[in-house]
Amino acid sequence: MMAKKLAIQGGKPVRETYLPYGRQFIDDDDVKKVVQVLKSDFLTTGPEIYKFEQKVSDYVGANYCVAFANGTAALHAACAAAGVKKNDEVITTPMTFVASANCAIYLDAMPVFADIDPNTYNVSPASIQSMITEKTKAIIPVDFTGQPAAYDDILSIAKARGIPVIEDAAHALGARYKGRDVGSLSDMTMFSFHPVKHVTTGEGGVITTNRKDYYEKLINFRNHGMTRESSVFKETSHGPWYYEMQSLGFNYRMTDLQAALGHSQLDKLDLFIAKRKKYADMYTKAFLDVDEVITPKLKTGCDSSWHLYILRLKLERLSGSRKEVFEALQKENIGVNVHYIPVYWHPYYRQLGYEKGLCPMAEEVYEEIITLPLFPAMTKTDVKDVIKAVKKVISYYTR
């Protein structure tokens, strides 16, 4: 069937200018903080790193926080700290960005994909349980869209086997699970500070943890495996300049420029989350009477930080495909997106032997979802434009 063209409806697009699905919010205070660092003695590995780490750990209620150049580096470090090695298995979800699985491959381990809950789109604890083997050395649940995964069940499953849980909370800074802050629940938790996330450092990420042994391993891993701590030297010091490389680490350090920006951004985090929640609520209320779509569902006890707003299409009620709806919304200048292509569908993973059909629910959901714009720099008018465009397009394609 030839794709329908909304042009036949007549009139102009809903918006004159393009609205992206996500965008950073930078103000004069953020700029001032970065400029101060530019004029200081340190551009990298200076005092701003510690200040930023301390502020994050205080916010989420964790004992330790280690900053990295990006969230992917942080996940790599967390897997290494957890002891993941060659031929080990790491269970994660396919409904995520590729980094959640790639971090295992970096250590010559293999990702194992568990299917998702059809309501929340988070990884299913039952599916995790079915995937555990003697080779399982870590579980990486993802707090998809900002809603925490089912941690009572996941942590119970992991604890029974002595398996570390590395929480990928790239979407979930500021979220809460049954009264507890995300960042203090799991053995290690990763937050990302990419520009579309809740706060940004440009690129950047952190791992929070309550375990000192993980903290020390993370610190070494991000800095070439080197230490200047004389108390842990393996050989006799040559003098005050002495340091040792004790393991193979990486240059995964965050800069003071990034940390200063992040520190300033954290001052606005609660405001940013409040706006996201407000706009998400506007979407949900507006689409309750649209029978052709399914709005996000939150589990009892989960307080989402709303990184993404996912609309699921009831394609059986529509004459157009997901692609046609997507392209029609773009023509209305609404910057929709899709999160995510199942990880093992990518050519690289296909070359490793992964095949379609591993996680039927994740694949079904992927075929039907669209991500709507949601970010704190939006206005109410922007949100209303998105609602108007979605209703216009859905109405056009309704059978």
158 and 105 inside one domain: yes
Q: What percentage of the chain carries pLDDT values higher than 90?
A: 96
DSSP 284-297: HHHHTT-TTEE---
pLDDT of residue 8: 38
pLDDT reading at 38 higher than 50:
yes
Domain assignment present for 11: yes
142 and 233 inside one domain: yes
Cβ atoms of 293 and 311 within 8 Å: the answer is: yes
The more confident residue out of 218 and 6 is 218
Task: Specify the number of domains making up the chain.
Answer: 2
CA pair distance 205, 328, nearest whole angstrom: 35
Q: Burial code of 144-181, b = ≥16 C-beta within 10 A, e = fewer?
A: bbbbbbbbeebbebbeeeebbbbbbbbbbbbbbbeeeb
CATH number at residue 207: 3.40.640.10
Tens-place pLDDT, residues 268-299: 999 999 999 999 999 999 999 999 999 999 99
pLDDT of residue 7: 44
CATH number at residue 342: 3.90.1150.10
121: left (phi over 0), alpha (psi -120 to 50) or beta: left
pLDDT of residue 2: 39
236 and 277 inside one domain: no
Q: Phi first, then psi: give them for residue 346, nearest 5 degrees.
A: -70, 150
Catalytic residue from among 4, 12, 135, 197: 197
Which of 207, 208, 156, 150 has its CA nearest to residue 177? 150
126 and 227 inside one domain: yes
pLDDT of residue 10: 59
pLDDT of residue 142: 98
Domain assignment present for 146: yes
230 and 281 inside one domain: no
What's the pLDDT band for 190 if we cut at 50, 70, 90? very high
Which of 367, 378, 365, 366 has its CA nearest to residue 280? 378
247 and 305 inside one domain: no
Cβ atoms of 182 and 154 within 8 Å: the answer is: no
Domain end marker among 266, 288, 314: 266
The encoded tokens of residue 200 equal 């940004």
204 and 180 inside one domain: yes
205 and 230 inside one domain: yes
262 and 273 inside one domain: no
pLDDT of residue 108: 98
pLDDT of residue 88: 98
pLDDT reading at 36 higher than 60:
yes
What's the pLDDT band for 152 if we cut at 50, 70, 90? very high
Average model confidence (pLDDT) across the chain? 96
Find the mean pLDDT for residues 369-386.
Answer: 98
Find the mean pLDDT for residues 378-396.
Answer: 97
CA pair distance 294, 344, nearest whole angstrom: 25
Burial class (CB in 10 A: 0-12, 13-18, 19+), 327: middle
pLDDT reading at 6 higher than 80:
no
Domain end marker among 241, 266, 291: 266
280 and 214 inside one domain: no
Domain containing residue 183:
28-266
248 and 273 inside one domain: no
Find the mean pLDDT for residues 218-239.
Answer: 96
Tens-place pLDDT, residues 102-143: 999 999 999 999 999 999 999 999 999 999 999 999 999 999
pLDDT reading at 1 higher than 70:
no
The reply to whether 285 belongs to the active site is no
* Strand pairing category for 244-245 and 293-294: unpaired
What's the pLDDT band for 340 if we cut at 50, 70, 90? very high
DSSP 139-201: EE-B-GGG----HHHHHHHHHHHT--BEEE-TT-TT-EETTEETTSSSSEEEEE--TTSSS--
Cβ atoms of 81 and 174 within 8 Å: the answer is: no
pLDDT of residue 97: 98
247 and 167 inside one domain: yes
Domain assignment present for 1: no
pLDDT of residue 4: 45
Domain end marker among 266, 291, 309: 266
pLDDT of residue 9: 55
Find the mean pLDDT for residues 191-205.
Answer: 98
What's the pLDDT band for 93 if we cut at 50, 70, 90? very high
